[in-house]
Amino acid sequence: MNIATGAMNTLLPKLGELLVGEYKLQKGVKGEVEELEKELKGMTTALHKVATMPSDQIDEQVKIWASDVRELSYDIEDAVDTFMLKSKGHEPATSFKKVTNLFNKFKTNHQIHAVIKDIMDQVKKVSKRRDRYRVNDITARPTVVDVDPRLEAMYRKATELVGISKPKDELTKRLLEHDMSSRQQSNIISIVGFGGLGKTTLANSLLQELKENFDCHFFVLVSLNPDTNKILKNILLQLDKKKYSHIDEAWDTKHLIDKIRDFLNNRRFLCVIDDVWKESAWDNIKLAVQDAKLGSKIIVTTRNMVVAEHAGGGVYEMKPLSDDDSRHLFYKRIFDSNDDCPADLCSVTEKILKKCGGVPVAIITTACLLASKPWNSQEWDKVNKSISFGLEDSLDVGRMRKILSLSYNDLPFHLKTCLLSLSKYPEDELIRKDVLIWSWLAEGFITEETRPAGTSLQEIGESYFSELINRSLIQPMGRLYYREDGKVHVCKVHDMVLELINQLSAEEDFVTTYLSDGQQAGKNTCTTQKKKIRRLSLHKSYKSYASPEAREQYSKVRSLTVFGKVDSIPPLSSFYVLRVLQLEDCSGLDRNHLNDLGKLRLLKFLCLRKCSATRLPESIGKLESLETLDIRGAETMVLFPMSFVKLRKLVRLFAGRVQLAHGLMLGNMKSLQELSVEATPEVIRDLGNLKELRTLRIIFKGRETLELMESIQTSIQRFTNLQGLDLQYNIGVCIVSIDMQQIPSSLQRLFVVGLDMEAFPSWINSSMLSHLATLSIWLKFEYLQSDHLDRLAELPSLRFLRLTLRTGGEGQQQKLTIHGSACAFRSLKHFHFYSSSMMPSFQPGAMPHLERLCLEIWTNLKRGDLNDLGLENLHSLRHVTICSMDQKNRAVVKEALKNYPNQAEIELLCLTRHVIMVDQYIIAQQGSVATQQNG
């Protein structure tokens, strides 16, 4: 029901704009709009109450009311948007009439009284239903789970546990460490990961195995809506059952905390604080255990990375089971042995395990379902599909959904909306963060109403994306170590999460997704579509689009997304209120499918990635609402017509190689703030006129690079608002001189790839780049001078630094000494260093807040080459990646690093022509190594 709340959030500001804007409303009409606005605000208040409750706890009548409100708000918003265009003289009345039957009485810009009356009549009907259902009296109830699904994990036999031996060995080493290094070890370890991944199982297994090493121990469940006093009483009861079996009910929170602290004083204890959802819950409980001494250890489990980092100490990210462990667990559950499954079941078994994605609760649930079914592939395939369509009502499936739904129910309504929008993507689709956020912006999921002062809507979108990752609901992907900038740019939805949001989306009629076999995701194939389609997603799907019934359904669609090769798409002329058009890899479409593009007058986001069109249609100039155009990955050069200059609201243009129609000047696109394009003389010629640019990415591929670079540098000095600058050469390496007298002081990101600078730029200093947070440069000289490093160290906002030092040949290994001081690299979190002849040496106090280090080794290492690396001096380090082109270096690196005391995860990447081999291990204080090798 959160979807209705989101719809209202975009509608109400528009009604306000209608009242104060220059729309020439008659006095009586203004009064009715004001009355409508007040009524909708009352509905929004009631909707917020409904949105706080899990879907399965909402009365069916209330669900119907909320659905009616959502549909009504969509219709009103469509009508208001279209009226605004019409009133400005940009929209023909005939098109306006088609938008919604609410406006069928519209005649002129000054006569909309009948329209507002129709709206008010419908709103009053919905309001009366609200009063009948007593929606305003609803109060959110805590989520109740009849039998806590985690209890099974606590009482599971050790012989039944699969795939936890490596993480348990690794965490055991950490938990038994005490005063054996030069620096104090944290007494807290947080296990963080996706719901159902086995965090509780792992934590309880550790507790049972290690409790004999401690004076006392306890295990408490916190859950989504914790009762702090109940938890504290539970702790006391476990610590001394006899003494606290009859706790005085009058004891308040402070008294309970004092009793626990008194008991634990001078005792070495081990405890598990399980399933912590919010920082506030941890803050209450930690008061009782925060003075842990004598090597006491606290294990926290959570689904939220923010909570884990807030708790302090070490963080262990729980990973899904490997393919082998997944099979082992599945076979053990269904066949009661480790034997291979029957040959005729192998294929369907792999499909099932792929969907489970290494999540133990999903594997166990599916195995329990299959245990009662005949052992044949047809029956197993039915079960696999039944889970997808939500048809299976077994206790096991219900419990699994409950575990997954807890994470969804905990989301605020705006994040629920954003997560459900991901149901339009196919399985295993790699989803670009920028494309996702742009679609959120276009649909109004991110609004001015929720924007904190000093932040942009784009930044709010990035925070939403990060929060979904931190809550383990989407998975970060595509972190190529030689390209990353410390941020996640691509994500993926776990198959089980996708199944969940597909079902929720189908229930709320949020996204209608047709799969390649013509079935609708999240619904039984027999289910008929009763509601209006608001968002349509087609996955390599073909169906008849010509019928009048189909066209009527499309008239309300706000977002159309097509994935994969298709022969045709519905005619664009059917989509009167479309805001988002996303055609991904639709190589089968020809440009004729875009003929009616100009009729999409409300379109804000147009994505034509990897499409085969060689030119944009002339009608694109009619898209006066268009804010984002993404045509990256086009197979050939794309011609921009002269009408392109009419796109006065275009904020973002992301393209590859473009050809401008004769007379077309990109410099006339005054609203452009973000531009990514391949360098050509015609594109670069008047770049300096784009005064509002915030982000500029230029890709060089031709021989004209040096000439074009000079022009670009002149333009850059005129960009007073520039925040991000990316210059990339995609064919080998080009030696250039990048030196400017002026650089925009607002610059926050500078990424230079493939362009070797002949000298260290004079403009890289703290006085000119005080806001610079991300820096990547390639330098063309033998070694970095100490004063250059000092200038980098003084940059106050620098969080990510990548230095690539290139020389003409392989000389003797040099050492780059990085000293520590109070102001040196005060904000740096990520450091990437690539050189064929140098290795860094970190001195005490160097880079005090560094969390991730990446080194690329281009030469053959000899024993002793890494002796002075100094990782032990990087006290905040959490992850180290060492890349090498020579597999022989692996032994040298392991030998050099094995005795370092840091609790940093070490990853060795051996880059060969055909494969990247990865070693992952944790360096423990005792010097032992737990290794996982992936080919």
In whole angstroms, give the CA distance from residue 887 to residue 908: 10
291 with 318: CB under 8 angstroms?
no
Residue 214 has pLDDT above 50, yes or no: yes
Higher pLDDT among residues 525 and 52, named by residue? 52
Query: Residue 608 has which token pair?
Result: 């034509």
Q: What is the pLDDT of residues 123-135, one digit of tens each?
A: 878 777 767 766 6
Is 544's pLDDT higher than 60?
no
CA angle 428, 366, 519 (to 5 degrees): 50
Q: Averaged over 850-863, what is the pLDDT?
A: 82
Output the six-digit token pair for 270.
Answer: 């081990």
Please say if the pLDDT value at position 914 is more than 50.
no
Other residues' Cβ atoms within 10 Å of the Cβ of residue 359: 26
Q: Give percent of the chain above pLDDT 70.
A: 78
Quick one: tokens of 831? 């450091």
Q: Residue 803 pairs with which residues in a beta bridge?
A: 777, 833
Does the pLDDT value for residue 517 go beyond 60? yes
Place of tokens 């989301």: 411
Q: pTM for the complete prediction? A: 0.85
454 Ramachandran zone, left/alpha/beta (phi>0; psi -120 to 50): left
> What was the pLDDT predicted at 64?
80
**Integer-rounded Cα radius of gyration of the chain:** 30
Q: What is the pLDDT of residue 338?
A: 63
| Residue among 671, 621, 665 at smallest CA distance from 643 | 621
DSSP state of 615: B
Q: Once rounded to an integer, what is the mean pLDDT over residues 747-770? A: 85
For helices 346-356 and 323-334, the axis angle rounded to 10 degrees is: 110
Give the amino acid at 535: R
Among 156-165, 401-410, 549-558, 672-681, name the one with the lowest average pLDDT.
Answer: 156-165
Look at residue 370 and tell me whether its pLDDT is greater than 90: no
**Tell me, what DSSP letter sits at residue 206?**
H
pLDDT band of 108, cuts 50, 70, 90: very low
pLDDT of residue 901: 60
* DSSP of 496-560: HHHHHHHHHHHHTT--EEE-TTSPBTTS-TT----SPPSEEEEES------SHHHHHHHTT-SEE
Given this model, what pLDDT does residue 763 score?
84
> With 50 as the cut, is the pLDDT of residue 184 above it?
no
pLDDT, one tens digit per residue, over 584-610 is 877 666 666 787 899 999 999 999 887
Position with higher pLDDT, 620 vs 916:
620
CA atoms of 682 and 704, how far apart (whole Å): 12
- The band of 211, judged by pLDDT with boundaries at 50, 70 and 90, is very high
Contacts with 29 (C-beta within 8 Å, 6 or more apart), sequence order:
112, 113, 116
Q: Is the pLDDT of residue 931 over 70?
A: no
pLDDT of residue 701 exceeding 70, the answer is yes
Average the pLDDT over 39-67 and give the result: 76
Q: Which of 81-90, 348-357, 710-719, 825-834 has the highest mean pLDDT?
A: 825-834
Per-residue pLDDT, 264: 92
Confidence grade of residue 935 (pLDDT, cut at 50, 70, 90): very low
pLDDT of amino acid 697: 93
Single out the residue of 638, 672, 675, 642 nearest to residue 658, CA to CA. 638
Contact 457, 446 (CB under 8 A): yes
For the cut 80, the answer to whether the pLDDT of residue 281 exceeds it is yes
Predicted local confidence at residue 418, as pLDDT: 94
User: Cα 914 vs. chain centroid, distance in angstroms?
Assistant: 30
Give 120 or 818, the one with higher predicted confidence. Answer: 818
CA distance 16 to 38: 11
Residue whose tokens read 């990973």: 319
Q: Is the pLDDT of residue 467 over 90?
A: yes
pLDDT > 80? residue 225: yes
**Mean pLDDT over the full length of the chain:** 79
Q: Which domains, and CATH codes, for the chain?
A: 7-133 (1.20.5), 164-317 (3.40.50.300), 322-410 (no CATH), 417-510 (1.10.10.10), 512-525+533-664 (3.80.10.10), 777-934 (no CATH)
Instruction: Please state the separation of Cα 556 from the chain's center in Å.
Output: 28
d(CA 301, CA 153): 13
* Predicted local confidence at residue 419, as pLDDT: 95
- With b for 16 or more beta-carbon neighbours within 10 A and e for fewer, the 2-13 pattern comes to bbbbbbbbbbbe
CA-CA distances (angstroms) from residue 106 to 36, 87, 94, 112, 601? 18, 12, 10, 6, 18
Cα 837 to chain centroid distance, Å, stands at: 37
Q: Assess whether pLDDT exceeds 80 at residue 6.
A: no
Residues in Cβ contact with 423 at an 8 Å cutoff, skipping those fewer than 6 apart: 498, 501, 502, 504, 505, 510, 511, 513, 521, 522, 537
| Bridge partner list, 297 | 270
